[in-house]
Amino acid sequence: MTRNYLPYSNEGWIAHLFNSQAARDGGVIRRQVRDVERYVGREAFLAEMRRRGFSVLENSGQFIIICNRDPIRRLL
């Protein structure tokens, strides 16, 4: 029998995400869209990013999270 076990609560998953060195240093991290939707849900995730003032991009099944409030300039 297979169990659908989630190792973290929603809050625990978010805390784990931002415990990475890159996130703490104001860098860039990425996560699979399917994992975000599975663990916390898209809307809850985006609400937390909005609360923190972070920018989020989505491309090819990945969320790219810029863990600072600096402006983004697309070059190409």
Write the CB contacts of 45 (distance below 8 Å, at least 6 apart in sequence): 14, 36, 63
Compute φ and ψ for 64, nearest 5 degrees.
-105, 120
DSSP code of residue 22: H
pLDDT reported for residue 9 = 82
Q: What pTM was computed for the model?
A: 0.85
What is d(CA 58, CA 46) in angstroms, rounded to the nearest whole number? 11
What is d(CA 4, CA 39) in angstroms, rounded to the nearest whole number? 11
Inter-residue contact 9 to 17 (CB < 8 Å): no
Report residues of the chain scoring pLDDT below 50. 1-2
**Among candidates 69, 61, 73, 56, which has minimal Cα distance to 17?**
56
pLDDT reported for residue 1 = 47
pLDDT reported for residue 72 = 94
pLDDT reported for residue 11 = 86
